[in-house]
Amino acid sequence: MSRQQEFVLRTLEERDIRFVRLWFTDIQGYLKSVAVAPAELEGAFEEGIGFDGSSIEGFSRVVESDTIARPDPSTFQILPIDGSDGSTNLTARMFCDIAMPDGEPSWADPRQVLRRQMNIAADLGFNCYIHPEVEFFLLKNEDGPDGHPQPADTGGYFDQAVTDAAPQFRQDAITALESMGISVEFSHHEASPGQQEIDLRFADALSMADNIMSFRYIIKQIANRNGVRATFMPKPFPDFNGSAMHTHISLFEGEINAFHDPDDEYFLSGTAKSFIAGILEHAPEISAVTNQWVNSYKRVTSGAEAPTAATWGASNRSALVRVPMYTVNKPASRRVEVRSPDSAANPYLTYAVLLAAGLKGIREGYELMPPAEEDISHMTRRERMAMGYKDLPTDLDLALREMEKSELVADALGEHVFEFFLRNKWREWKAYQAQVTPWELAHNLEF
């Protein structure tokens, strides 16, 4: 038994923890959980927990349904939320790696998908660090008279005014996150009524994906305790900005930031430029992963600082990739910010395809185009074409068509995840297309 496993078992006994939740995600990024008693955990470390993989979206077929969840003791944390029955029984959680009965990692496990890309980066000499800015909305518990959700407050960007319906929310949320070892760098009210942003301090890509899954769970729990609802839906309101998950990425070679060059105009190394070029080149084909829902494209097509074309710029918030210029003389902080992902993306798959695209740019020496200096969201399609900018997909249909042709995404996700993802998303798109909306009835019924 490893030291980490021994630490977990000792902590369970010393803290009198009654339940341990074993977490993993399906291919779409939904959190799954099985609770075990502490007495069963030693066996779970040795043999894993068997479950029916065919009952989890995209995991396995009925004829090969036996699947094993193996707890990762390095992810052990005590949950900061008391029992739902009002008791104070402590509950802990660990993320799991999913394996097949023969012990081989499951190709359907999103953690394994990301881990493969991190291993490719390591083979090239890089460690990948990620720092996301996670946006979401707080909603009143009761919908409005029209049946639509209502923001929990009327605040705007950086407003000091606390949320009307949940004045303690951000303080409670940050306290809970920090208690789990999830470091928060900033938090503030975003531009739209009810919209919040919490920025997580950088961590390696796999730890950050785990942190984001924990973040979503904790945020929803704290919102409930404060009498409101939290949603990570990309664009719940037609007239307000959508919720993004702007993702800052840097590659390090040991202690050296591989993205920093003090002699470059933008303080970007050749490695950083090729990484950006890789993301720009492959942006349309990875969009179905970074923006996986029908609703995701309501945010993307609205402008409002959401990228519409594969461009980059220094400090340009309308570009797909922004190079922050706050601390240009601090080598450790040189990074690139990818602005396409939304807060409802599967973080494991999203970071896997972003890494795959950027690393391909590095391996093949992609050349970076000149930076965009205009507000791309205000340009017409013809103007973007004249500038040589590649448009991003404007709906899930176009995104899936681009993904279907992509060798890069197929290689990054693996055949199993790639095929299931496409089948699942085509089903979602066809179901959406079949809807007759109130807008259509209002405009076409009397024709």
Tokens linked to 299: 């945010």
CA–CA dist 9, 5 (Å, integer): 6
Tell whether 40 is in a known binding site.
Answer: no
Burial of 159 (0-12, 13-18, 19+ CB in 10 A): middle
DSSP SS3 for 433? helix
Helical (H) or strand (E) element with 247: strand 245-253
364 appears as a binding residue in the annotation: no
131 known member of a binding site: no
Q: Is the distance from CB of 234 to CB of 298 less than 8 angstroms?
A: yes
Query: Residue 408 and residue 357: Cα distance in Å, rounded?
Result: 7
CB contact at 8 A, 294 and 434:
no
Please give the single-letter amino acid code of residue 316. Answer: N
Q: Please, are residues 38 and 18 in contact by the beta-carbon 8 Å criterion?
A: yes
On whether 135 is known to bind a ligand per the annotation, the reply is yes
Q: How far is C-alpha 419 from the geometric centre of its chain's CA atoms?
A: 21
Torsions phi, psi of 79, nearest 5?
A: -70, 140
402 marked as binding residue: no
Distances in whole angstroms, Cα of residue 229 to Cα of each of 91, 143, 176, 407? 23, 11, 17, 40
Residue 242 labelled as part of a binding site: yes
Q: Which residues contact 302 (CB under 8 A, 6 or more apart)?
A: 235, 241, 242
Contact 253, 275 (CB under 8 A): no
- Side chain identity, residue 146: D
The CA distance from 341 to 289, in Å, is 8
Is 29 part of any known ligand binding site? no
Q: Is 47 annotated as a binding residue?
A: no
CA distances from 203 to 30, 210, 240, 266, 412 (A): 22, 10, 31, 24, 21
- For residues 20 and 12, is the Cβ–Cβ distance under 8 A? yes
Question: Is 317 known as a binding-site position?
Answer: yes
Is 428 a known ligand-binding residue?
A: no
Is 188 marked as binding a ligand? Answer: no
* Strand 245-253, strand 256-257: pairing: antiparallel
Query: What's the rounded Cα separation, in Å, for the pair 14 and 278?
Result: 49
Sign of torsion, CA 175 139 209 128? Answer: negative
Specify whether the backbone of 158 is left (phi greater than 0), alpha (psi in -120 to 50) or beta.
left
Give, for 348, the enclosing helix (H) or strand (E).
Answer: helix 347-363
27 is in an annotated binding site: no
Instruction: Please report the sign of the dihedral spanned by the C-alpha atoms of residue 30, residue 34, residue 38, residue 41.
Output: negative
255 annotated ligand binder: no
Give binding residues for L-glutamate as ranges: 241-242, 299, 305, 317, 339
Give binding residues for Mg(2+) as ranges: 133, 135, 190, 197, 246, 337
Give binding residues for ATP as ranges: 185, 248-250, 317
Give binding residues as ranges: 133, 135, 185, 190, 197, 241-242, 246, 248-250, 299, 305, 317, 337, 339
